[in-house]
Amino acid sequence: MKKIGVLALQGAFAEHEKCLAQIGAKAFLTRLPRELEHLDGLIIPGGESSSIGKLINDYDLAFALQSHIVNGLPVFGTCAGMILLAKQVIGLDGQFLGAMNIVVRRNAFGRQVDSFELDLSIPVLGEPPFHAIFIRAPWIENVEPEVEILAQLPDGTPVAARQSNILVASFHPELTNDTRFHDYFLSMTERREKCKK
Amino acid sequence: MEKGTWTLKTGLAQMLKGGVIMDVVTPEQAKIAEEAGACAVMALERVPADIRAAGGVARMADPTVIQAIMNAVSIPVMAKCRIGHFVEAQVVESLGVDYIDESEVLTPADEANHIWKHDFKVPFVCGCRDLGEALRRIAEGAAMIRTKGEAGTGNVVEAVRHMRAVMGNIRKLQSMSEDELATEAKSLGASLEIVQEVHKTGKLPVVNFAAGGIATPADAALMMQLGAEGVFVGSGIFKSSNPEARAKAIVKATTHYQDPQVVAEASRDLGEAMPGLEIGSIPENEIMATRE
């Protein structure tokens, strides 16, 4: 059984825990650097990126996260998690973990009254379309060539992407009963195991 | 594309979980709260301790104050309206706030009815003292619940009473048999349907925070261990001697609430907490929690 950490500093970590249980993975709520050891993957959940971004500075957690990701730990960031992983964040000075070569705009769609949900075609997940829930969501403003865009809004705005071991989405698969996104992430952890062997 | 749905309303509250929502009265205070790691701020004209001291009728804040705070920070901004005052709610919604607190801390505008919150695009949070009150508010459209406590006292005893009442009642519901639920729904003053849901899931259908009297990191961790999914801190931060340090410490203790060593560390060298109020010393007509 795969051991997947869920960064549990603030936000919707319990929802990811539930999704992982549904697909037969074991979730570990992770708050301290030592809890990152021996994981097959890590999810950085939705929440308030500004809040999580402050809390990762305690106990050298940011440094520990960065080194695990550089060493190939598969990581999946949803909404705030995507903001934390981006190399550059617009609407904020600098970056948090700076692990992925994307530029992300925070609160890109506006305030809560502009939050929305819609069915989104995501080719790597197949049919039917994925029901995507955007809450004060960020979007991806720019990507470097090594980044694969996985989903776009009808107007072409990228809202999900992957760069080797890093997977991100602007929206919240953990708020739906559709586990295809989590299954896809779990398949990324399988491949890592093969590489290690 | 759909907006203003129940999923989006309850979803924002889910994103706030594990966090601290802080009362602020100026843009400067809002920035201190954001910098300390607050997951949202509550924009007010006066914190509850000052509302209590001032007496008279407490109303929604001046839109200029709310907007200045919205402009100062990038985290979600909440604002309060009076119980039943749906026009104050319309006004606050039109400003674009992220959540409205239909709050007993302000003077109620309607002694019989709460706002029918399903009519709004913006989500609402409401206070409760027990499970029945929570379920009534959810039925009216509250997408988030907070236990009331007694605001502006710096005394956590009422917050504990209300959280224990809600959690205890949920445990009781869970252990009941199906055929007892109708009578229990009647005594709770809630619909059978929602009572059946709580019986089945063992939790409220929306996120539940604690509020009213939280003044220290240990208070915050206590409420989390009792089952709160996050905390509101009102007067506790900006009525203390060192708001920056205390705000940061309460955020840390809320995240690491199960780790006494972290809570101990967070509790060090914070200076004076806000002066507390003994609940028994408050005249009965000045108790805010009984406003429903």
- For the stretch B136-147, pLDDT in tens is 999 999 999 999
Chain A nearest-CA residue for B255: A9
Q: Which of B76, B65, B84 is nearest to B38 (CA)?
A: B76
Instruction: Quote the CA–CA distance of B169 and A45 in Å, as a whole number.
Output: 30
Q: For the packed helices B243-255 and B27-36, what is the interaxial angle rounded to 10 degrees?
A: 40
Instruction: Look up the ipTM and state it.
Output: 0.95
Enzyme catalytic residues of B: 80
**What are B7-19's pLDDT values in tens digits?**
999 999 999 999 9
Q: Is A171 on the interface with B (CB under 8 A)?
A: no
- List C-alpha distances in Å: A130 to A46, A125, B87, B168: 18, 8, 38, 38
* Domains and their CATH numbers in chain A: 3-196 (3.40.50.880)
Average pLDDT on B163-192 reads: 97
Say yes or no to pLDDT of B21 above 50: yes
Tokens (6 digits) for B241? 């001697």
DSSP B274: P
B64-112 tens-digit pLDDT = 999 999 999 999 999 999 999 999 999 999 999 999 999 999 999 999 9
Contacts of A130 (CB under 8 A, 6+ apart): A119, A120, A121, A122, A151, A173, A176, A178, A180, A181
Out of B40, B74, B96, the one facing A113 most closely (by C-beta) is B96
Comparing alpha-carbon positions, the chain A residue that sits nearest to B231 is A10
A157–B contact, CB cutoff 8 A: no
Buried b or exposed e, range A15-54, using 16+ CB within 10 angstroms: bbbebbeeeebebbebbebebbeebbbbbbbbbbbbbbbb
Cβ–Cβ < 8 Å for B277, B218: no
Q: By the CB < 8 Å criterion, does B101 face chain A?
A: no
As a residue count, chain B comes to 292
Which of A131, A107, A105 is closest to A120 using CA atoms?
A131
Percent of chain A with pLDDT over 90: 93
* Spatial CA neighbour of B291 closest among B109, B87, B135, B86: B109
Per the CB < 8 Å rule, is A55 touching B3? Answer: no
Which CA distances in Å does A39 have to A5, A28, A107, B137, B144? 6, 9, 31, 41, 33
| Distance, CA of B148 to CA of B123 (rounded, Å) | 18
Tokens 């203390």 — which residue? Answer: B240
| CA torsion through residues B195, B197, B200, B204, sign | negative
**Straight-line distance from the first to the last Cα atom of chain B, in angstroms, rounded to the nearest whole number:** 36
| pLDDT above 90 (res A94) | no
Question: What pLDDT is attached to residue B62?
Answer: 96
| CA closest to A112 among chain B residues | B98
Q: Would you tell me which residues 76-135 of chain A have a C-beta closer than 8 angstroms to some C-beta of chain B?
A: 79-80, 91-92, 106-107, 111-118, 133, 135
What is the H or E stretch that residue A150 is in? strand A148-152
Vertex B149: Cα angle to B230 and B51 (nearest 5): 105
Percent of chain B at pLDDT exceeding 70? 100
Q: Which residue has the higher pLDDT, B29 or A94?
A: B29
Model confidence over A47-81: pLDDT tens digits?
999 999 999 999 999 999 999 999 999 999 999 99
The pTM (predicted TM-score) of the whole model is 0.96
